[in-house]
């Protein structure tokens, strides 16, 4: 691993997390490629990418579990390699798959980790009570962890990383495997943590939830950063032209063939589990009426045509190809 470059900029006062040229190789595989990323204090920051895109590698480097091949990362100004102990005191990391001791009671489990952070016995009881209240599980403090639902175990995992009151939270797919109600409860907890002043970096594949939850996002593909900035900014940057939802009376396959024959159309595909055709115009085209003309002139009956606003998931699918290393 290379030393920090003498030309590296000084820490930004509002930055909670900064990476500069962060790169990680596994043999001939490049998992991260020159990643430059900034997460500001107080952000609820969404980290988006396909499986294998480099999200977990980034989080593991930031949490000091993995060293970069080259480049530098800082958490509240502390170098994650040279000042790893300082970073661990101010950071809480919740991996995608974490182990719980299912034969332990909730308070026993949290007490063990609080002791690991050298929280005194006199403070531990109140600390455990506070974090359980925060994650909505005060009534479960005497329960065996193995008797709890998947959603409750996930919240216990979050309570575990909160016992030392970290300023920064790195959460790798915290809603993975949860049912809809448990996901909503988890997202509400994260919003409350942000309100309390925590900075949260969350990776997730549930993009609809990130869109409403996060104030800023980054998109990563094949280890390289594609976008970083406000949620609305990614939509504005990558959706200069609208999409359209088309419906014909019959023969959707023929409608798609007709559309693909015209250079004004960039894409036309039948949406799954519906009879709508999603249509995207080619570069330079801004008027959706050309779609109606193609259909009508082709002898088909048009029954519906409307402009649709692209959400974060649509944008992600548009700007990435789902490629991994």
Q: Sketch out the chain's domains with CATH numbers.
A: 15-236 (3.40.50.300), 240-309 (3.30.70.100)
Band (318; pLDDT cuts 50, 70, 90): low
Average predicted confidence (pLDDT) for the chain: 88
Q: Is the pLDDT of residue 235 over 70?
A: no
The pLDDT confidence band at residue 100, using thresholds 50, 70 and 90, is confident
Q: Which pairs count as long-range contacts for 29-32, CB under 8 Å and 24+ apart, including other chains?
A: 29/325, 30/223, 30/325, 31/57, 31/223, 31/325, 32/57, 32/58, 32/61, 32/68, 32/71, 32/223
pLDDT of residue 2: 47
Phi-psi region of 142 (alpha: psi -120 to 50; beta: other; left: phi over 0): alpha
- Residue 315's CB is within 10 A of a number of other CB atoms, namely 23
**Gap between the Cα atoms of 103 and 144, Å rounded:** 6
For the chain, what percent of residues have pLDDT higher than 70?
Answer: 89
Q: What pLDDT, on a 0 to 100 scale, did the predictor assign at position 106?
A: 96
| Residue 135 predicted with pLDDT over 80 | yes
Could you tell me the pTM of the whole model?
0.77
């Amino acid at each position: 691993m290379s030393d920090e470059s003498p030309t590296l900029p000084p820490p930004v006062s509002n930055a909670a997390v900064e990476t500069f040229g962060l790169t990680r190789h596994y043999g001939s595989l490049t998992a991260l490629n020159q990643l430059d990323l900034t997460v500001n204090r107080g952000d609820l920051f969404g980290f988006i990418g396909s499986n294998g895109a480099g999200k977990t590698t980034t989080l593991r480097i930031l949490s000091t579990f993995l060293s970069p091949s080259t480049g530098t990362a800082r958490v509240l100004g502390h170098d994650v390699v040279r000042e790893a102990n300082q970073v661990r005191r101010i950071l809480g990391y919740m991996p995608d798959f974490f182990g719980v001791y299912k034969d332990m009671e909730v308070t026993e489990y949290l007490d063990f980790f609080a002791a690991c952070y050298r929280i005194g016995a006199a403070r531990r009881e109140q600390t455990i009570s506070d974090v359980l209240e925060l994650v909505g599980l005060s009534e479960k403090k005497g329960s065996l962890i193995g008797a709890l639902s998947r959603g409750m175990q996930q919240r216990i995992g979050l309570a575990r990383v909160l016992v030392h009151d970290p300023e920064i939270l790195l959460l790798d797919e915290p809603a993975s495997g949860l049912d809809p109600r448990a996901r909503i409860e988890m997202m509400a907890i994260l919003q409350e943590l942000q309100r309390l002043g925590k900075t949260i970096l969350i990776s997730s594949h549930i993009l609809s939830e990130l869109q409403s939850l996060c104030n800023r996002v980054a998109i990563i593909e094949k280890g390289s950063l594609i976008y970083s900035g406000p949620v609305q900014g990614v939509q504005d940057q990558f959706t200069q032209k609208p999409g359209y939802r088309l419906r014909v009376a019959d023969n959707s396959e023929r409608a798609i063939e007709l559309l693909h024959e015209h250079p004004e159309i960039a894409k036309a595909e039948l949406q799954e589990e519906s009879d709508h055709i999603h249509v995207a115009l080619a570069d330079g085209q801004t008027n959706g009426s050309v779609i109606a003309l193609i259909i009508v002139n082709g002898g088909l009956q048009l029954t519906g045509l409307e402009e649709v606003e692209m959400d974060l998931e649509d944008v992600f699918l548009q700007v990435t190809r789902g490629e991994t290393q």
